[in-house]
Each structure stands twice: as C-alpha cells, then as structure tokens.
Chain A
Amino acid sequence: MAEKLSMYLAFPFVQNTLIVGVLIALCSSLLGVVLVLRRFSFIGDGLSHVAFGAMAAAAVIGFSDDMPFILAVTIICAVILLKSGRNSAVKGDAAVAMLSVSSLAVGYLLMNVFPSSSNISGDVCTTLFGSTSILTLSENDVRLCVILSAVTVILFVYFYNRIFAVTFDEEFSTACGTNAKLCNVFTAVITAVVIVLSMKLAGALLISALVVFPALSAMRVFRSFMAVTISSAIISVSCALAGMLVSILAGTPVGSTIAAADMIMFAVFFVMGKILGRR
C-alpha cells in the first residue's frame, strides 16, 4: 500500500490536492468555531447554494474565469445575511432558506436551458458532491486557494481576541468601543471566501460537514476557546488528510470520504466527552 501511495504522490496533481485540501480544511474549521457558536451552522449550506447559482450564471454569461464573479456574489449575500449579528439568527434563517433554495433551483434551471457544456449532470454532480473537483485543479486555482487560505489564517490570528470578544458578548464589545458591526461584516466576507474554496474540496452539499463537525467535536471535550479553536483545526486537517488518502487509494469520492471521516471523529469525541463527564 505504501508503494501504491508513493506512486500516486509522484503526480503533481495529487500533491496539489493534498496541499490545497489541508489548507481549506484548516480555514473552514477556524471559521466553523465562530459560526457554530453564533448559531449560524446552516450558513455553510445556504452560501454554497448561492455559489452554485452564481457558477451557473457565470457559465451562461460566458466568463472564462468564474471565480471572481462567484466570490463577489457570495460575499454580497453573506454580508446581507450576517451583518446584523445576533439579531440575524432570529429574522435570518427564513431568509437563508429562501435564498439557498432559489439559488439552487435557478442555477440548475440556467444550466439546463443554456447548456454551456455537454455533460450537465456530470458538472452538477461534481459541484454538488465534490467527487473529483479537488483532483482537477488548474494552476490558477491552486495559487488562489493558497493565497486566500494564508490571508484567512493570518487575519484570524491577528483578530483572534476581538473575534472571541464579539462572539461571546456582542453587546459588551460594543460598549467597550469595539466596532462589532465591522467585525460581523468581516466575518461574513471571510465566511463567503472559505465556503467558495471549500466547495472544491467537499462539494456544495457536504460543506457543512467540513465547517461544522470539527468545531462540534472539539466542543464536546475542550473547555476554553483557545483549546477548542486549536483542536478543531487539528481535527479538521487530520480528517481531511485521512479522507483524501483513503479516497485516493480506494477510489471513493473525495467529498463524501472526508465528511465520513469527520462524522467518525465526532462520534469518537462525543464518547470521550461522556467518559470525561463533560456536560
């Protein structure tokens, strides 16, 4: 098996897959902690459907590189949905549901009425489930993913204390003079970017697994925000790596394999939490 693995690893496209996959898993897990704690776990799904719709629209309009358009549309929707902070959770979940399902429907409709490729179901399948999209990245894709991931991680570390403060108590933060509204907009933009990137790894339908499971697993056992953030990142990267390696060796679709790894890890941490007597 080690021999088979080294055969695969000799290919540049496989090396790219592993590097980009790990970086995406890292970013989405950091973001996942914040989103789960603000009760926005469904945002991943909602925004990925918007991105799918944007992708279909980009194909119809005829963009050769659709990434900037998809990022722009997804960022705008993320800001609209997330900008009111805590209040959004009450008014916003209906908005997310409507936006999400409309984008999916319109996107699929556009792809069928204005077909820009000969294999619609194939493209849809790959985009929704991420079976081979991470294995077929172009040079541009790889560069973009690496840069955006690096920027996301650096910004997260730089604003870590403020992110914690606003997530824990937005009212108190505003009273202290922290610009909580700006913080929320900023989180929304980063969320959109990470979601669009994660679609390449796990597909639009499975993104939530990538974003939500590592954070939930970490919270079962760890008790401080720092410990939860760091362990969420480690869990996510390990599951992504394990999932990708299994997928490469066994020929299973990448997105589902990673999601399955995340689920197994959650079960393990759930049991550990019970044994350790955590509430």
Chain B
Amino acid sequence: MIAIETHNLSAGYTTPIISGLNLSVNAGDYLCITGPNGSGKSTLMKTLLGLIPPLSGSVKIHAGAGDVGYVPQQNDLQKDFPASVSEVVMSGFQGRLGLRPFYSQHEKESAESAMMRMNIAELSRKSYRELSGGQRQRVLISRALCAGRKIMFLDEPVAGLDSQSAKEMYRVIHELNTEGMTVIMISHDTESSMKYATRVLTLGRA
C-alpha cells in the first residue's frame, strides 16, 4: 500500500532545488533522505508535508488528518521557552481541536501513553528548557506521536546529540518502524542510516 507518492515534483522557494522527482513510499517503509548541505533535504520534506507549495508536479499523502507526525529541527526560540514537557506533548493534538478550546480527557491519556512509550513519563512536569538534547528529542517525538501514528517525518533527529544518545535515538525510531510506522527521516549520518533504513534517497548534483 502506497503511503506517499510524488509525480514530477519540483520543489524550492522561488527557484527549484529539486526537479522532476518521482517518489513512491510504501506503508511501513523506512526512508532515509541524505545529501550534502543545501541539496534541498529540508525543502523536500516541507514540500511533502504541505508547508511549502510545490513549484510544479504533485505530492499525495495517503493518510488522514490524524495520521501524520512531524519532528522538525529544534529552533533557538525553543531552547529558552518556559513550557512543561506535558504542555509540549499535548500540543501534538492541536489539529484535532476543531472548535473546542480545551483538550479532552482521552487526549490527555493518549499523551501520557506517548510519553511512556518514549520513556519520558517521569519528566512530564519538568520544564522543556531544563532537559538535555536527547530528552528534548524524545519529547518532540512524543508530540509527533500525538499528532499521528501512521507516518512520521523526522528532520535531522540526531543533530547536536552525542554518539551514545544518537545510537539510542536511532534504536527508538527503528522500534517505531517495526511496529508499523512509516518513517521518513533526513540524516547526515550515512552509516547509521544504511543500518536501519529500507530505502535511501540521496539528493544533490549528479
């Protein structure tokens, strides 16, 4: 079953960084996107997610609203943000709020189970800015799990982590994949990506 497909996709902001991409990702695949800096990895991911409109061609994600999770790169503003871990994880449910102002009890329980899945349940009351890099990534993955459990997009999830934490992170993502989640990950680390990925897409000039 196809999860994501593109037809002749050209992606970029004003000029195309990627042209004529025909991609097809099956459910349960673990796709790793690699390439040098500036080759358009993040741009491609944002186009697949619908954050940037494609310059030409099309993208189709065969999934509903509550099926897609996204772990973006951490930004500077967040490093000092006063938010508790549970507040960050709960925000994964924002797409389901509709006209409701507050999250439901069911959503709160789902957030709890996502945190337990990522082994951060005991950190739920801690402040996000006091966590280590590896812990923060787990929080963001929990948040993505709340947003959707079928497909997960990860943009450089091990950036800034030491090698031990990075190994642990890859293991966790691999586990999610074995449970049936389609994983699309951007990574600089070709060695580790080859270890777990079922498919690799390399971007850049030929």
Partner of A172, one of B50, B70, B90, B130: B70
Interface pair B94/A178, CB less than 8 Å apart: yes
B95–A176 contact, CB under 8 A? yes
Whether B84 and A223, one on each chain, are in contact in the complex, defined by CB atoms closer than 8 angstroms, is: yes
Decide: B95 and A168 in contact? CB cutoff 8 A. Answer: no
Docked Cα-Cα span, A157 to B100, in Å, equals 11
Q: Tell me whether A4 is interfacial, beta carbon within 8 Å.
A: no
Q: B residues within 8 A CB of A177?
A: 65, 95
Q: Which residue of A lies closest to B88 (CB)?
A: A168
Cα–Cα, bound, A86→B51 (Å): 14
Of residues B68, B87, B125, B143, which shows the largest number of chain A Cβ atoms within 10 Å of its Cβ?
B87
In the bound assembly, the distance between CA atoms of A125 and B101 in angstroms comes to: 43
A-side contacts of B126, CB under 8 Å: 223
Q: Is the CB of B94 within 8 A of A161?
A: yes
Complex CA gap A23/B46 in Å reads: 42
Q: How far is the CA of A66 from the CA of B72 in the complex (A)?
A: 46
- Please name the residue on chain A nearest to B94 by beta carbon: A165
The reply on B201 being an interface residue by CB < 8 A is: no
- With a CB–CB cut-off of 8 A, which chain A residues contact B101? 157-161
Contacts between the two chains (Cβ within 8 Å), count: 89
Within 8 A of B (CB), among A201-258: 219, 222-228
Residues of B within 8 A of A39 (CB): 77
Query: Is there an interface contact between A161 and B82, defined as CB atoms closer than 8 Å?
Result: no
Question: Is A165 in contact with B91, judged by CB distance below 8 angstroms?
Answer: yes
Chain B contact-residue range equals 20 to 34
Does A123 reach chain B (CB closer than 8 Å)? Answer: no
Question: A33 — nearest CB in chain B belongs to which residue?
Answer: B82
A interface size (C-beta, 8 A): 31
Enumerate chain B residues within 8 angstroms of A223, measured Cβ to Cβ.
82, 84, 126-127, 129-130
Closest beta carbon of chain A to B54's beta carbon, Å: 16
Pick from A164, A175, A178, A222: contact of B68, CB below 8 A. A175
B94 touches A176 (CB 8 A): yes
Q: Are B87 and A172 in contact (CB under 8 A)?
A: no
Contacts of A175 in B (CB 8 A): 49-51, 68, 70, 72, 147, 153
- Give the complex CA separation of A173 and B101 in angstroms: 16
Contact between chains at B82 and A225 (CB < 8 Å): yes
User: Are A164 and B83 touching (Cβ within 8 A)?
Assistant: yes
Given contact pairs A158-B101, A223-B127, A279-B129, A37 touches B70 in the complex (Cβ within 8 A): no
Contacts A161-B91, A172-B72 hold; do A225 and B83 have CB atoms under 8 A apart? Answer: yes
Shortest beta-carbon distance, B115 to chain A, in Å? Answer: 15
* A161-B97 contact, Cβ under 8 Å, with A279-B129, A279-B130: yes
User: Are the C-beta atoms of A224 and B127 separated by less than 8 Å?
Assistant: yes
**Which residues of A are at the interface with B, using a C-beta cutoff of 8 A?**
37-39, 86, 157-162, 164-165, 168-169, 171-178, 219, 222-228, 279
Contact sample, A vs B, 13 pairs, CB 8 Å cutoff = A38-B77, A168-B91, A169-B75, A172-B72, A175-B50, A175-B70, A176-B94, A223-B82, A223-B130, A225-B81, A226-B87, A227-B82, A279-B129
The 10 residue pairs across chains A and B that have the minimum distance between CB atoms: A223-B127, A224-B84, A176-B95, A165-B91, A175-B70, A165-B94, A177-B95, A158-B101, A225-B83, A228-B82
